[in-house]
Amino acid sequence: MKPIYVLNGPNLNRLGKREPHIYGTTTLSEVEAMCRHEAGDRPLVFRQTNSEEMLINWVHEAIDEGDGILINPAAFTFTSLALLDALKMFEGPVIELHISNIHKREPIYHRSYVSMRADAVIAGLGAGGYRVGVRAVLSLVKG
């Protein structure tokens, strides 16, 4: 059984401390525990980086070794054509996730390059959106 990849972009290592009025008080460690619980027996690779290069390398790894990707690309959502190109090579389901509702925020957050490849987008559910995202990826992989 191939793993599900949960990939997190820049500044998500600061969850729980960074702008709690937007992102809540749940830490990234707590998010990882939620994801592992939802995945059950399914292997899950959970990672976070502040590096665009590293995030792209992990997508490449998922291309070779994974069944699905749940990705919170954070700021790279709005800036990275390279990330989009990497995700386009992935043949399994890709779900884009945002803790906040990016469409209620400033206009710079309204255009997602990742959405051009994503099979679905989850936004505005807070950290609990990760639970929904893992369930959705599993459903799409099984489906």
Q: Beta-strand (E) ranges in the chain?
A: 4-8, 44-48, 68-72, 94-98, 120-123
Catalytic member of 5, 23, 113, 130: 23
d(CA 28, CA 44): 15
In whole angstroms, how far apart are CA 130 and each of 29, 60, 64, 123, 141?
12, 22, 23, 10, 16
Q: Please indicate whether residue 23 is annotated as part of the active site.
A: yes
3-state secondary structure of 116: helix
Q: Is 122 annotated as a binding residue?
A: no
Q: Please indicate whether residue 21 is annotated as part of the active site.
A: no
Q: Is 72 annotated as a binding residue?
A: yes
Q: Is 99 annotated as a binding residue?
A: yes
Catalytic member of 5, 37, 98, 109: 98
Q: Is 29 annotated as a binding residue?
A: no
User: Would you list which residues are annotated within the binding site for substrate?
Assistant: 72, 85, 99-100
Q: Catalytic positions, please?
A: 23, 98
